[in-house]
């Protein structure tokens, strides 16, 4: 290779690099990017004194490091759960009727819904996501009728999720249920990229399945020939997100369970709304590295940012405090908490580009800047 050829290849790599949308590490194909980086390194003997070349080497090296740290899995995240179900921390007050298990609903419970929702869609598509929308409900009247069918029985139902392992009769029903999915501990770990024991996974699933909500849920509906839109549906009854059964598959001599098989059935009204939105392709995407962010950062992103691609989002300080369940009324302390535990972690993971603080008519607010949506 001549120096002229090396300069030409460098220019092509540099032009392509500058054409990648920000944040670059979230928009590149890791394999192609790695190959381009290797080609760039191979030009060192010709361009080692070229400042532009050295800068590009450094930039691409940093992105490669980020790609290595990034979660190796991407999950779908259904929009209705993110929008409608409030985060509840301890004894915080909420205007939404909710009876979460142990008085809490937080980042890990949202994560559970991401994972089991993805399990369900992959089962529906035969190990791939379905290539077309297949909604359950045609309109809000159909939603209302289904709630009426399920509502009264749900009020007096003792669910399988309140018991321990399922017997053979229950297991047979779960296996043949219309909206059911089966998985094991290793599957849950793979989709979250978290090191969780079987007991921790079971606790998360039980806690999430036992929470009851009565909320206004956004249902994605097709509008004749127009684009599908979300329509709010105010629920009339409390409902759990799903029903759960499990089997102890691997038990040590001392009785410690090391592996379980789980059966999740979306046979509740809230569960069917969740499934309807999934089958209507009403979801966004999250890297598994998202689940390693602070809980408050995860909830903030779900509540304010994940479902749109506006370049700037203004959010009042009081709205943040209310949605995230912060109890501190001291503005100085609250600002420090939000910036240190929420905004900076999101910025470091490049889920937001940055933020500004300013005074508005309703008090202090943040202007959060974010990149466009990333499609898998």
Query: Same domain for 212 and 304?
Result: no
Query: Same domain for 253 and 346?
Result: no
Between these two residues, 92 and 23, which has the higher pLDDT value? 23
The count of domains in the chain is 3
Cα 367 from Cα 373, distance rounded (Å): 18
Cα 48 from Cα 170, distance rounded (Å): 68
Query: Same domain for 41 and 185?
Result: no
Residues composing the chain: 376
315 is written with which tokens?
């959010």
Query: Same domain for 173 and 228?
Result: yes
77 and 286 Cβ atoms separated by less than 8 Å: yes
What is the pTM (predicted TM-score) of this model? 0.78
Which of 31-45, 143-157, 193-207 is predicted least confidently? 143-157
Query: Same domain for 247 and 308?
Result: no
Query: Same domain for 147 and 214?
Result: yes
Query: Same domain for 99 and 235?
Result: yes
List, for residues 163-187, the tens digit of each pLDDT value: 445 666 777 777 778 899 999 999 9
Q: How confident is the model at residue 162 (pLDDT cuts 50, 70, 90)?
A: very low
Query: Same domain for 100 and 196?
Result: yes
Of the three residues 259, 292, 325, the one that is the final residue of a domain is: 292
Query: Same domain for 215 and 111?
Result: yes
Q: What is the mean pLDDT of residues 333-351?
A: 94
Query: Same domain for 333 and 244?
Result: no
Beta strand pairing status for 312-316 and 363-369?
Answer: antiparallel
Give me the domain span that covers residue 20: 3-69
Query: Same domain for 264 and 348?
Result: no
Of the three residues 233, 257, 292, the one that is the final residue of a domain is: 292
Nearest in space to 342 (alpha carbons), one of 374, 360, 368, 309: 368
List, for residues 109-130, the tens digit of each pLDDT value: 999 999 999 999 999 988 888 8
Highest mean pLDDT among 21-25, 83-87, 306-310: 83-87
Of the three residues 257, 277, 292, the one that is the final residue of a domain is: 292
Task: Tally Cβ neighbours within 10 Å of residue 265.
Answer: 23
Query: Same domain for 223 and 137?
Result: yes
């Amino acid at each position: 290779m001549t120096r002229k050829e090396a300069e030409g290849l460098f220019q092509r790599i540099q032009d392509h690099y500058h054409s990648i949308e920000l944040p670059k590490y979230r928009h590149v194909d890791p394999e192609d990017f790695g190959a381009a980086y290797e080609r760039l390194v191979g030009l060192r003997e010709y361009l080692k004194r070229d400042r532009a070349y050295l800068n590009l080497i450094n930039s691409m090296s940093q992105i490669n490091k980020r790609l290595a740290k990034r979660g190796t899995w991407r999950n779908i995240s259904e929009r209705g759960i993110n929008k409608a179900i409030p985060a509840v921390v301890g004894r915080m007050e909420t205007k939404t009727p909710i009876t979460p298990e142990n008085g809490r609903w937080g980042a890990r419970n949202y994560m559970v819904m991401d994972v089991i929702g993805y399990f369900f869609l992959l089962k529906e598509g035969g190990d791939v996501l379905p290539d077309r929308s297949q909604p359950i409900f045609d309109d809000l009247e159909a939603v209302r009728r289904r709630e009426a069918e399920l509502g009264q029985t749900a009020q007096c139902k003792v669910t399988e999720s309140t018991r321990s392992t399922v017997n053979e009769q229950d297991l047979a029903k779960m296996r043949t249920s219309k909206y059911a999915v089966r998985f094991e501990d290793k599957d849950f770990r793979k989709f979250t990229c978290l090191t969780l024991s079987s007991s921790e996974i079971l606790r998360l699933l039980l806690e999430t399945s036992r929470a009851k909500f009565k909320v206004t849920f956004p249902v994605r509906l097709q509008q004749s020939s127009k684009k599908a839109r979300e329509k709010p549906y105010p629920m009339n009854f409390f409902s759990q997100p799903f029903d759960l059964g499990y089997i102890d598959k691997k038990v040590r001599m001392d009785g410690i369970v090391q592996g379980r098989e789980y059966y999740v059935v979306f046979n509740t009204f809230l569960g069917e709304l969740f499934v309807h939105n999934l089958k209507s392709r009403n979801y966004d995407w999250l890297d598994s590295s998202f689940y390693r962010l602070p809980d408050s950062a995860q909830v903030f992103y779900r509540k304010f940012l994940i479902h749109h691609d506006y370049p700037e989002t203004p959010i009042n300080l009081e709205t943040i405090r209310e949605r995230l369940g912060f109890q501190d009324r001291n503005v100085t302390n609250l600002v420090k908490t939000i910036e240190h535990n929420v905004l900076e972690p999101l910025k470091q993971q490049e889920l937001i580009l940055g933020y500004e603080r300013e005074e508005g008519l309703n008090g202090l607010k943040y202007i959060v800047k974010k990149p466009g949506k990333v499609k898998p």
